[in-house]
Structure 1
Amino acid sequence: MDRLRDRVRVAVIQDETGIAGFFPYERHSFGIGKPLGGFLTTCHGLISVPDLRLEAKALLRACKLSVFDFDHLVAGQPTFAPYESDVRPAPVMDFTQGFDAWLQQVKTNSPKNLKTVRYKERKFGREQGGLRFEWASADPEVLRTLLAWKSDQYRRTGRVDRFAQPWIVELIDLMFAENSADFSGVLTMLYAGDVPVAGHFGLRTATTLVGWFPAYDTEFARYSPGIVHHLQMAEAAAAAGLHMVDMGKGGKEYKDWLKSGVLYVAEGRVSRPSASAAVHWMGRTPFNKARTIVMDRPSLYRAADRVLKGFGRVRSSLHQESSNAVVKEPTGAR
């Protein structure tokens, strides 16, 4: 992140024995503090010795921050716990008891869903030349295919295309190039015959794969390639010795029946008295409250999702019309 953004800072926390912790953050204009990577990060907070407790406002003062706004903080950290306004579950696939135990939990969660997906998986392979799964692909063209699918998904569903920001694409390329025992980018891809149909790019620690960018080719949507891919990715992750796939908080229904456990992340803010903190509060609080209300009510979430998808269809149609427009060359012009 520091190679790409000039806002990146890391506070080093020391006691009489030496280094006790680190606090990574971004410092924006007017002393507004945000997690490293902003909306791209699904887990943040202090990296420290167990149970480190600091006075949060003193930490902000040392970091020259007026506000620290968080939405995926590791819940329950002593320094920030008093400032948590909302705590949410982040579903995980837990393989610590083995892949078969996880699969049994999925079957218990929803036997009908698992049976349907397995049927579609067999049908998919039978009708499209067989299925093949690749773990940790090193092919940059495969990554570009995945990102193109994801951009299309953002447009179709009315979301902002994150890959329109060059620094995010460059960050993914940097993560894709990382490959060490305790940190790497992992690209997975499901193929039907020789055709890529669904994939995912995420970050791996020594024990955990963090869900980041899943996507699929909509041409094969009738086979549910995204879920088929997730089942095969789970098996490959367990075979690679990972203990967990963190799917992140969010409103996707498939997470409820693929999960075998949860982690907890928190939203909130810490602020010191200042004009910039007051302005920030007025700008952020109504949005955060509205989002929480929508997320807590499935009917509102579905309605909001339908509105965004409708907007996405209009935007995609306009984009297609623009792409198909032909400027006719005047007669005789060369």
Structure 2
Amino acid sequence: MTVPADAAPAARTVRSVRTVGFDALTAEELDAWHSLRAANPLLDSPYFHPGFAAAVHASGFEVRVAVGRDGSGVVSALLPHHRDGSMARPAGWPGADFQGPVLAPGSSFPPRALLAGGVRGFAFDHLVESCADFAPWVESRRASPYLDVSGGLEGYLGRASRSGRDNMAQARRRARRAERDHGAVRFTADAADPGILGRVVALKRAQYAATGVRDHFAEPGRRELLERLLRVRDPSFGGILSAVHAGPHLVAAHFGIRSGNVLHWWFPVYDPAFAGLSPGWILLREIVAAAPALGITRVDLGRGDDEYKRRARTGETAVCQGLVTRSAARLALRRARASAVAAAKASPLGPGLQNMTRKIRTLMRN
């Protein structure tokens, strides 16, 4: 949705906040969501589109929305979230790679307004710095890299680091090798195929098991969320499934979400049998090359220290971690944990410090 410049919402101060279930939002409130988001360039990620909150809610994870109004009663901010016991978390957590209130640039939102009805804290781990009111509760910031893919592959290569260019060149050579060894290489940029999506989930779960990472898809609703998003066939928002085949083999695939000209890199996978081909790079190169046809100018890779993200990125933004709470003791304990984690990573005494941080993390689980 595009808002004309002369109709863009002005910066406003929230004077009252009402929290309702997503299904109880009025047409006025949903229209305001679209208008406020369209007026704020920091919110162009698909995670801020109401379609994402709607799909999460319909998948069995109740989304509630804090609706802020200014002194004149105009909707000036919305923040979708989940209730998790005494904690509130951003909608889509733990799979939401960008978080925060939807509001016009320069507007305010009172974070403590989320602490009502028995909620003791609002925990965030990918907060976009679009609202200065959250600054007192930010504990740390981490980089979230992206690829500027304006102009497709040629445009990207002109902006990429030497490492990024080298890996893209290697991906081209390995795709040729895959074709020689396994059959014709085919890339599908937008495959509305539930069978491929099922394979993506299966490969991702196998990857979680192999690396000892908690299985994101152990809860059935999370697979249902992807299935719902895949069925949304609207360029303004929806799921997008891309795949690389070599002969009959699915070599690599990716399920993400897009909104307008932004694609979020969410669940990339590859078949370990083809690991020697660096299939992830083959897939990424194909997506960059297809970006103009898809109307994509930026690919957000999401927070993380993965080597391929460091090599491929053309830029980065910051996302914040922290907790809104009235408890000074809880805040101090969280900050002690963050300091211990940082020290463990930097110190040659890492094993002992890491054991200490695990004990602190255990104390912080509830």
TM-score category (smaller protein): 0.7 to 0.9
* Alpha-carbon separation, structure 2, partners of 1:298 and 1:203: 40
Partner residue in 1 for 2:294:
240
1:150: how far off? Answer: 0.8
Superposition deviation, residue 112 in structure 1: 3.9
Q: SS state of the match for residue 93, structure 1? A: strand
Q: Which amino acid aligns with 2:221?
A: W
Alignment CA distance shift 1:298-1:193 (3 Å): farther
CA distance in structure 1 between the aligned counterparts of 2:152 and 2:241, rounded to whole angstroms: 22
Match of residue 284 from structure 2: 230
Look up the equivalent residue of 1:150 and give its one-letter code: K
Query: Which SS does the other structure have where 2:160 is aligned?
Result: helix
Between Structure 1 and Structure 2, whose CA radius of gyration is higher? 1
- Quick one: distance in 1 between partners of 2:153 and 2:347? 33
CA shift, 1:102, in A, is 0.9
Q: Match for 1:183 among 237, 250, 255?
A: 237
Q: What is the aligned partner in structure 1 of residue 357 from structure 2? A: none
Shift of 1:196: 1.2
Q: Per-residue displacement from partner, 1:305-327 (whole Å, max 9, x unpaired)?
A: xxxxxxxxxxxxxxxxxxxxxxx
State how far apart, in whole Å, the 2-side matches of 1:89 and 1:255 are. Answer: 11
Structure 1: give runs of 5+ residues left out of the alignment: 305-334
Residues 20-35 of structure 1 aligned to structure 2 (within 5 Å): 20-30=76-86, 32-35=87-90
* Residue number in structure 2 paired with 1:121: 175
| Alignment partner, residue 55 of structure 1 | 110
* Alpha-carbon spacing, 1:178–1:269, altered in 2? closer, same or farther (3 Å): same
2:274 alignment counterpart? 220
Structure 1: how far apart are the matches of 2:311 and 2:248? 30
Shift of 1:88: 1.2
Secondary structure of 2:245's partner? Answer: strand
The 5 Å alignment of 1:174-323 reads 174-273=228-327, 282=333, 288-289=338-339, 291-293=341-343
Q: Work out whether residues 124 and 131 of structure 1, in 8 Å CA contact, stay in contact via their aligned partners in 2.
A: yes
**Alignment partners' CA distance in 2, 1:297 and 1:103:** 37
Q: 1:43 aligns with which of 88, 98, 104?
A: 98
Cα distance in 2 for residues equivalent to 1:260 and 1:6: 34
Identity of aligned residues (%): 32
| 1:8, distance to aligned residue in structure 2 (A) | 2.1
The match for 2:64 is 9
Per-residue deviation, 1:121: 2.1
SS in 1 for 2:106: coil
Which string of whole-angstrom CA distances, capped at 9 and with x for unpartnered residues, describes residues 72-121 of structure 1? 00025212122211111111011235541212333534454333333222
More displaced 10-residue stretch of structure 1: 48-57 or 96-105: 96-105
Deviation at 1:235, TM superposition (A): 1.5
Q: What is the identity, as a one-letter code, of the residue corresponding to 2:180? A: R
Match for residue 154 of structure 2?
100
Q: Which has the higher contact order (CA 8 A, sep 6+)?
A: 1
Farther-moved stretch of structure 1 (198-207 vs 235-244): 235-244
**Residue of structure 1 aligned with 2:185, choices 128, 131, 134:** 131
TM-score of the aligned structures, taking structure 2 as reference length: 0.74
Cα distance change on mapping 1:295 and 1:131 into 2, 3 Å: farther
Counterpart CA distance in 1 for 2:338 and 2:192 is 39
Give how far 1:153 is off: 0.8
Task: Determine if contact 1:106/1:114 at 8 Å carries over to the other structure.
Answer: no
Any conservation in 1 of the 2:191–2:242 contact (CA below 8 Å)? Answer: yes
Q: From the superposition, tell whether residues 98 and 22 of structure 1 become closer, same or farther in structure 2 (CA, over 3 Å).
A: same
The DSSP-based 3-state class of the residue aligned with 2:57 is coil
Which residue among 206, 216, 239 is the counterpart of 1:162?
216
Q: Which moved more, 1:11-20 or 1:259-268?
A: 11-20
Letter in 1 for 2:63: V
Corresponding residue of 1:310: none
Determine whether 1:72 maps to 2:160: no
Question: Matches of 2:344 and 2:306 in 1, distance apart?
Answer: 14
Q: TM-score, normalised by structure 1?
A: 0.80
AA in 2 matched with 1:42: D
Counterpart of 1:328 in structure 2 is: none
Partner SS, residue 81 of structure 2: strand
Distance change in 2, residues 1:279/1:88 (3 Å) = closer
Which of the numbers 134, 137, 153 marks the counterpart of 1:83? 137
